[in-house]
Structure 1
Amino acid sequence: GADMVVGSLIKNPGGGLAPIGGYIAGTEKCIENASYRLTSPGLGREVGATLGIMQSFYQGLFLAPTVVGGALKGAIFAANVYEKLGFKVVPNGQESRHDIIQAVEFGFPEGVIAFCEGIQAAAPVDSYVTPEPWAMPGYDSDVIMAAGAFIQGSSIELSADGPIKPPYAVYFQGGLTWQHAKLGILKSLQRLIEKDLVKLP
């Protein structure tokens, strides 16, 4: 029912390949007005920056269903693993899904930190980095973020973050492939076990 929706191509629709860009969908009038605002009245959608990267855009759009499907499978895997360990997960392992984000509520700050350390260790870029909570502008508590992505800010790639405050929940998403999402979750679990924060049944 929206007149216009906008989004980023470095998120799900870009399939992990679009390095920049966005999309707009909606009524003809809204799209026309947005295109005039972006460029100039009369020119609208007839011009615009492509920066010589149209191949990445088209390949990303082509791969997006497979990439998003893998990320969803990874989120379901994460929900089931952590639910079986006794943690609250949102959505749970059986719920209908409409996003790639999986929340895991630890109830203690060390869980959030260890989880993010494991996700970072599974990253294709900067896996040697250890993320730490810090006072990020715009937040009312310290926040920890793990993301070693090919495209900075591309949340379809493997990442996790969470505020260091009750209920101490971490938000996991992405993985350009199901296998990478699974690796990230297993690395997060490994880090929690190493720090003696969870015990396997």
Structure 2
Amino acid sequence: MNRIQPSQLITTLVILITMSSCSAIEIFEENNEMPLKKPYKSFVIINQEVGMRGFSSQFIDTQVQIHLKEALESQGLIYDKTTPELVIRYTSNEDPRKRDSYQNNNPYPYWGYRVWDPWMYNPYFNNQSNVKTSTYELVQVIVDFIDQKEDKLLMTLTGVTEVSNQKTKSKKVLKTTDKIIEYFLYKVKDSQ
């Protein structure tokens, strides 16, 4: 009978906590025209080479290019403009939205400051609620991974997150990009 070692238990808990803290980012895989067959050694980011912006903000667009390049190079891939094995193209969908939340204005709930009496009129207990509207942005980071030799899509990965503050938008976009790269590298290792 195998017993779980304390170190394995701690490692599992750390992984679960890390995964639950990042649950605000969802990754979707789509558009597979061919399966992953080999580990790729070189890549190019087509947005950088042709000057195509994938985000409305030039600052965020430049950050994503740098982040993609550094993350893939840290995994041993080489940036090659002339004969890459893997072509990467990215874009985004930045959709402003609104959300309504309801707040109850009853200062005297049943369990509150006075004992509830059905025969006594309570002007405060009329179930009025205020509607508070907050704005946020639903940001989708869409990355295409293309096999250059076959000229077919290996996969399109879409990372979806909500941004409620423009100051944190670039940070959330970069976290989403990290999740996309992790997912792609996992799929490459899994296919071997």
Q: Which has the higher contact order (CA 8 A, sep 6+)?
A: 2
The structure with the largest helix share of the pair is 1
TM-score (structure 2 length as normaliser): 0.29
Q: Give the number of the structure whose alpha-carbon radius of gyration is greater.
A: 2
TM-score (structure 1 length as normaliser): 0.28
The structure with the largest strand share of the pair is 2
